[in-house]
Structure 1
Amino acid sequence: MAEAFAAKPGALPVLRGRHDLPEISGRISAIVLDGRLPRYFWAAFFSCFVFVLIFLYSITYLISVGVGAYGINVPVVWGTMIGNFVWWIGIGHAGTLISAVLLLLRQPWRASINRFAEAMTLFAVAMAGLFPILHLGRPWFFYWLLPLPNTHMHWPQWRSPLVWDFAAIATYPSVSLMFWYMGLLPDLAVLRDRAKSRPAQLFYGILAIGWRGSAFHWARYQTVYFLMAALATPLVVSVHSIVSLDFTFAIPPGFHSTIFPPYFVAGALLSGFAMVLTIAIPLRWAFSVQDLITLRHMDNAAKLMIAAGMIVIYGYASEAFFAWYSGEIYERTMMWQRAFGPYAPLFWAMLACNGAVLQLLWFRRVRLNMPGLFAIALIINVGMWIERYVIVVTGPSRDYLPSSWGEQSLRWLDFGILFGSIGTFLALVFLFIRILPAITIFEVEELAEERGSAG
Structure 2
Amino acid sequence: MTGESRFELGEEAIFLEPIRTTGKRFYLTVLLLALVILWAAIAYLYQYHRGLGITGLARPIFWGVYITNFVFFIGISHAGTLISAILRLAKAEWRRSITRSAEVITVLVLFFGVGNILIDLGRPDRMLNIIKYSQFRSPLLWDVSSITIYLTASSIYLFLPLIPDIAILRDNAGKWNRFYRILALGWQGTERQHRLLEKAIAFMAILVIPVAISVHTVVSFVFAMTIQPMWHSAIFGPYFVAGAIFSGIAALIVAMNVIRKAYHLEGYLRPVHFNNLGILLLVMTLLWFYFTFAEYITVFYGGEPLHMIILYSKFTGRFAPYFWGMFLFCFVIPLPILSIRRWRTPTGTLIASISVIIGMWLERFVIVVPTLTNPRLPNEAVLYSPTWVEWSILAGSLSF
Question: TM bucket by the smaller chain?
Answer: over 0.9
- SS of the residue aligned with 1:404? coil
1:358 corresponds in structure 2 to: 334
Deviations along 1:40-98, whole A, 9 cap, x unmatched?
11211111111111221122122111122221112221111100000000111011123
- How far apart in 2 are the matches of 1:30 and 1:324? 57
Q: Is the 8 A contact 2:254 2:353 kept in 1?
A: yes
2:33 corresponds in structure 1 to: 48
1:89 corresponds in structure 2 to: 74
Q: Is the 8 A contact 2:6 2:14 kept in 1?
A: no
1:152 corresponds in structure 2 to: none
Is 1:26 the equivalent of 2:13? Answer: yes
- SS of the residue aligned with 1:250? coil
1:406 corresponds in structure 2 to: 382
Closer, same or farther: CA 17–303 of 1 in aligned 2, 3 Å? farther
For 1:111, the aligned partner's letter is R
Cα shift at 1:385: 0.7
- How far apart in 2 are the matches of 1:223 and 1:261? 31
- How far apart in 2 are the matches of 1:259 and 1:119? 30
Which structure 2 residues correspond to residues 46-195 of structure 1 after superposition, within 5 A? 46-146=31-131, 148=132, 155-195=133-173
- How far apart in 1 are the matches of 2:23 and 2:378? 57
1:343 corresponds in structure 2 to: 319
1:451 corresponds in structure 2 to: none
Closer, same or farther: CA 102–188 of 1 in aligned 2, 3 Å? same
- How far apart in 1 are the matches of 2:105 and 2:178? 26
Using CA pairs below 8 Å that are at least 6 residues apart, which structure has the higher relative contact order?
Answer: 1
Structure 1: segments with no counterpart, 5+ residues: 1-14, 149-154, 425-455
For 1:156, the aligned partner's letter is S
For 1:333, the aligned partner's letter is I
2:197 to 221, 226, 229: 221
- SS of the residue aligned with 1:406? coil
**What is the TM-score of this pair, normalised by structure 2?**
0.95
Is 1:325 the equivalent of 2:301? Answer: yes
- How far apart in 1 are the matches of 2:215 and 2:339? 29
**What is the TM-score of this pair, normalised by structure 1?**
0.84
2:347 corresponds in structure 1 to: 371
Q: Is the 8 A contact 1:172 1:239 kept in 2?
A: yes
Cα shift at 1:392: 0.3
Cα shift at 1:413: 0.8
- How far apart in 1 are the matches of 2:12 and 2:6? 14
Q: Is the 8 A contact 2:334 2:355 kept in 1?
A: no
Closer, same or farther: CA 19–353 of 1 in aligned 2, 3 Å? closer
1:248 corresponds in structure 2 to: 224
Identity across the alignment (%) = 32
2:365 to 372, 389, 402: 389
Moved over 3 A (4+): 15-20
1:280 to 232, 242, 256: 256
2:233 corresponds in structure 1 to: 257
1:442 corresponds in structure 2 to: none
Aligned length: 397
Deviations along 1:338-385, whole A, 9 cap, x unmatched?
1111111111111100010121211112211x3332222212111111
For 1:299, the aligned partner's letter is N
For 2:140, the aligned partner's letter is L
- How far apart in 1 are the matches of 2:293 and 2:377? 26
For 1:176, the aligned partner's letter is S
- How far apart in 1 are the matches of 2:7 and 2:331? 40
Structure 2: segments with no counterpart, 5+ residues: none
